[in-house]
């Protein structure tokens, strides 16, 4: 039985997770390997990567990298080429939010949010695109957020601005490199139940009460339940696969209908 990504080499950043469960990057690594890709899993946390590796059935290699550091990203891409010979797919999953609007968020945290969520995507694209161009093509899938398109219940201006930036970075890059056979698209997850809820968000928004935060988030979703990182990963799988050969410069929103509501 053939997989949807047989013969492909996929760099997946943020492939660890901040806690047990299905983060976007971990889910993508597990799913892509199951679909036949050779996965080059990237994260800063070796323990989180090791946990991901233990869940994978297929070919996976790991690499520690700070994706906000250009030299480190360049080294990461070269390490992938040295091991697997090419880069067919790039999936960007690194990200995280800090609360606060322009008044409350410090200038340092503002810059950190842009670097962590947006500059990381810029740098991986900067170093992967020349490789894909020389090969004759590839697919890039960037992970944004509904916070980049709507106010989703909490002021987080740095995160929201960066995620909005990812969507436009993807569009511009898609048009620029279409003639090179490189497709660039964005997955826009909504309020999923990922390990980030327990690890960070509950403390930021619900006084540490996970159940209260989960109830608040679920109440916004017309389908009546929250997805998790696997839902993001399945959308990314489609965009990374040859099934999406005519799809570039666009987004798939994965939010259970949340952003379609008026209230």
Quote the pLDDT of residue 153: 85
Clarify whether 159 is annotated catalytic: yes
Q: Which residues contact 88 (CB under 8 A, 6 or more apart)?
A: 8, 9, 10, 37, 132, 135, 138, 139
Name the nearest CA neighbour of 26 among 165, 171, 227, 232: 232
Domain count, the chain: 1
- Across the chain, how many H-helices and E-strands are there? 10, 7
Model pLDDT for residues 122-141, shown as the tens digit of each residue: 999 999 999 999 999 999 99
More confident residue, 230 or 217: 230
Quote the pLDDT of residue 208: 66
DSSP element (H, E) containing 71: helix 70-84
Model pLDDT for residues 179-227, shown as the tens digit of each residue: 999 999 999 999 888 777 765 564 555 566 778 877 888 888 999 999 9
- Residue 263 pLDDT exceeds 60: no
Residue 230 belongs to some domain of the structure: yes
The single residue of 116, 159, 234, 238 carrying the catalytic annotation is: 159
pTM score, two decimals?
Answer: 0.93
Structure tokens at 33: 């390997």
The average pLDDT across 56-78 equals 98
Residue 3 belongs to some domain of the structure: no
Residue 259 belongs to some domain of the structure: no
Among the residue ranges 92-96, 202-206, 227-231, the one predicted with the least confidence is: 202-206
Distances from the Cα of 168 to the Cα of 85, 130, 149, 184, 226, angstroms: 30, 20, 11, 11, 26
Residue 29: give the domain boundaries: 9-246
Residue 4 belongs to some domain of the structure: no
Task: Yes or no: say if 64 and 52 are a contact pair by the CB < 8 Å rule.
Answer: no
Residue 24: give its domain's CATH number: 3.40.50.720
Residue 256 belongs to some domain of the structure: no
Structure tokens at 72: 């480190």
Residue 257 belongs to some domain of the structure: no
Q: What percent of the chain has pLDDT over 70?
A: 95
Model pLDDT for residues 138-158, shown as the tens digit of each residue: 999 999 999 999 998 889 999
The average pLDDT across 12-22 equals 89
Residue 118 belongs to some domain of the structure: yes
- Taking the C-alpha atoms of residue 173 and residue 162, their distance in angstroms, rounded to an integer, is 16
Rounded CA Rg of the chain: 17
Quote the pLDDT of residue 225: 92
- Taking the C-alpha atoms of residue 173 and residue 44, their distance in angstroms, rounded to an integer, is 26
- Residue 7 pLDDT exceeds 70: yes
Neighbouring C-beta atoms of residue 263, cutoff 10 Å: 3
Quote the pLDDT of residue 200: 59
């Amino acid at each position: 039985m053939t997989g949807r990504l047989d013969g492909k080499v996929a760099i997946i950043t943020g492939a660890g997770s901040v806690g047990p469960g299905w983060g976007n990057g971990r889910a993508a690594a597990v799913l892509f390997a199951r679909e036949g890709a050779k996965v080059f899993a990237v994260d800063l946390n070796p323990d989180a990567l090791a946990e991901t590796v233990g869940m994978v059935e297929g070919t996976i290699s790991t690499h520690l990298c700070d994706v906000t550091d250009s030299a480190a990203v360049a080294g990461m891409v070269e390490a992938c080429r040295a091991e697997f010979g090419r880069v067919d797919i790039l999936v960007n999953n690194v990200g995280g939010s800090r609360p606060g609007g322009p008044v409350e968020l410090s200038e340092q945290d503002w810059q950190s949010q842009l670097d962590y969520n947006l500059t990381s995507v810029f740098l991986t694209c900067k170093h992967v695109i020349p490789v894909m161009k020389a090969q004759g093509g590839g697919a890039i899938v960037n992970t944004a957020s509904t916070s980049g398109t709507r106010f989703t219940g909490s002021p987080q201006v740095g995160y929201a601005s960066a995620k909005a930036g990812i969507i436009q970075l993807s569009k511009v890059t898609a048009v620029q490199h279409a003639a090179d056979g490189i497709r660039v698209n964005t997955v826009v997850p909504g309020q999923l139940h990922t390990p980030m809820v327990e690890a960070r968000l509950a403390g930021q928004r619900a006084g540490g009460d996970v159940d209260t935060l989960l109830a608040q988030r679920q109440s916004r979703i017309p389908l009546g339940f929250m997805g998790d990182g696997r839902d993001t990963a399945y959308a990314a799988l489609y965009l990374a696969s040859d099934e999406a050969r005519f799809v570039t410069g666009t987004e798939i929103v994965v939010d259970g209908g949340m952003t379609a509501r008026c209230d």
